[in-house]
Structure 1
Amino acid sequence: MSPTAQFLEKRRFIIRLGKALHKFGTPAYRLEAHLESVANLLQLHGNFIISPTALTFVLSEGDEQQEYTHLARVNPGEIDLGALARTDELVDELASGQRTLAEAIERLDDIVTKPAPYGRLLTFIAFGCCSGAFAMLMNTSWQDIFWSTLLGFIVCIYVFWAERSKRVTDMLEPISAITSALLASAITLIDPGINVPLVILSSIIAFIPGLALTLGLSELASRNLISGTARIMDAIMVLFKLYFGALLGVTLGQIFWGNITYVAPEMIPQWATWLAVTILSVCLIILFKVRVKDALWGLVAGYVAYGASLWGAHYLGAALGAFAGAFILGIYGNIFSRVMNLPSSIVKLLGLVVLVPGSKVYMGLNTLVTGQSIIQTTDLGSQTFLIFMSLVAGLIFSNVALPSRKTL
């Protein structure tokens, strides 16, 4: 093969790799570092600028006069941890000589087009149970948990519909929130003992951009300013769409069915929170498409993150307890990376979802607009800000204490 043909093949692989990893939800700072590592492996000079909606590749073989630039407009990626693991293994196989570049490109195409591993039924069940598990974490009543799960199933139908309709995709978040709010208001006619705002929040919890806000702050902390700012602004707009839909749905519900007198129900026991963590972790394994052989590590990540945060909260307070949770989770993720030779983000992202306070941002927005609290708490705004900062700091400190061997 001529040098020009070799360069074209290397270039084609790196560009396809970057697009694939972006599609799988890889943060910009990790993706840029990984692409630079792969470019060095292929003996190319590469510069990369990654953002949630655009990719820029600048590649050369050492002669800056022969640079090749590729720009692509892309949609924000969705987390697919199974595909991320397979792609990382593919790069390792290429580095060890087990695959040629042509075989690697063909395998990468197979990974991108591979169907979801768990199927529609399991995804549907996981979506609804995720809503119920969140309500359970909020130490609410069994009624709230039941209705949150049921509404979560209904929201999942919209998600499936959005996969087939561009119009539904454009209004997915607000229409889901409106429907949940209307139905929650109607439920009070037969069960006045539910906490309507909490049930609404639980039913749409899969859309609450807590993880996106955390990743955006992590990108800003790594000086990836364009991607971090874009990700945070996108997350804020999603939050606004969700809250507007919920507010409109509740208002329409009051017009249709009037105000219902709230009857305080009996709260669930404290031990149920650990059951909630278990259910939530299993649901996230399905929704994030984690491979079966990595699932146990992901399940333990939820326990590690939640248990460490409770321990930290006991000594440092609730906000700084998140630092302990993120730090221990980061150490655990890096141990996983060393043992399994896979990206640490496979388990870190699963544990982070248990810790991120995206729901508290929504609660703070509700308190600001209506003056009413979804759950009784003090200093919600400052506490939420501290938790976000603690999560980012915990992950940074964990990478210093025990560096990961993988760039992803």
Structure 2
Amino acid sequence: MFPKKIVPPINLLPFKKGGLAKNAAITVHITNLLQKQRFMIRLCKALMLYGAPTHRLEDYMKTTSQVLEIDGQFLYLPGCMIISFDTNSTTSDGAELQLVKCGQGVNLWKLHKVYKIYKAVIHDLISVDEANNEIDSILVEQNLYNKYLAVLFYGLASSMVTPFAFGGDWVNIPISFCIGICVGILQFL
């Protein structure tokens, strides 16, 4: 009637606290230490540049360093990330400090692409060299929408939210459209 053997539950979230993150490592794509550090710096820059949640940046970097088997500490301050790589082979004192500073913005299309690369490296689907090349191509490619269309979207979003958020009438919608256009123009100056 009762099962004789009790099987412990399987941890389906291996990268959460208390999971298999300590045992996770790259086994298929092996690269050198400097390429791994370059990937982590580029990943950090791309995540900051395209609007990753700031409360998750340190966790992304810690998980990446654990999987890539790099000893590192990370400190996020608004607008910059301080990365300390603890290595005995690259410098004489055993620690290398990097400051990643870039302007923050929101570009959800590029953030999605960067996050897919992050997940592919974490799960060892692509090598660090390939990921470096893909992040470099994302950093230099054009935005999904051109500036003129984005300014138009600012105006449309401003005018569509007016009746619901502020109780505006039909008279207020064109005024809020013009204000949204002005905000969009100021965004791209």
Same-fold call, TM cutoff 0.5: yes
Over residues 313-361 of structure 1, what are the superposed CA-to-partner deviations in whole Å (9 max), with x where a residue is unaligned? xxxxxxxxxxxxxxxxxxxxxxxxxxxxxxxxxxxxxxxxxxxxxxxxx
1:142 is displaced (CA, Å) by: 0.5
Helix, strand or coil for the counterpart of 2:55?
helix
Matched, 1:26 2:52: yes
The TM-score with structure 1 as length reference comes to: 0.36
Distance 2:100 2:60 in 1: 18
Distance 1:153 1:104 in 2: 37
Q: For CA contacts below 8 A with separation 6 or more, give which structure has more relative contact order.
A: 2
Give the 5 Å matches for 1:51-130: 51-61=77-87, 66-75=94-103, 77-130=104-157
How many aligned positions are there? 155
RMSD: 2.1
Over residues 38-75 of structure 1, what are the superposed CA-to-partner deviations in whole Å (9 max), with x where a residue is unaligned? 00010112211111222210112589x62221124433
Matched, 1:46 2:72: yes
**1:41 maps to amino acid:** V
1:46–1:57 CA contact under 8 A, matched in 2: yes
Per the alignment, residue 132 of structure 1 pairs with 159
1:128–1:156 CA contact under 8 A, matched in 2: yes
Distance 1:90 1:73 in 2: 21
1:114 is displaced (CA, Å) by: 2.0
Give the 5 Å matches for 1:245-256: none
Label 1:97 to 1:54 Cα distance change in 2 as closer, same or farther (>3 A).
closer
Per the alignment, residue 38 of structure 2 pairs with 12
Higher helix share: 1
1:30 is displaced (CA, Å) by: 0.3
1:55–1:73 CA contact under 8 A, matched in 2: yes
**2:172 maps to amino acid:** D
Helix, strand or coil for the counterpart of 1:29?
coil
Label 1:157 to 1:118 Cα distance change in 2 as closer, same or farther (>3 A).
same
Task: State, as a whole percentage, how many aligned pairs show the same letter.
Answer: 24
Per the alignment, residue 155 of structure 1 pairs with 183
Distance 2:150 2:175 in 1: 19
Distance 1:143 1:40 in 2: 57
Give the 5 Å matches for 1:333-352: none
Higher strand share: 2
1:24 is displaced (CA, Å) by: 1.3
2:50–2:106 CA contact under 8 A, matched in 1: yes
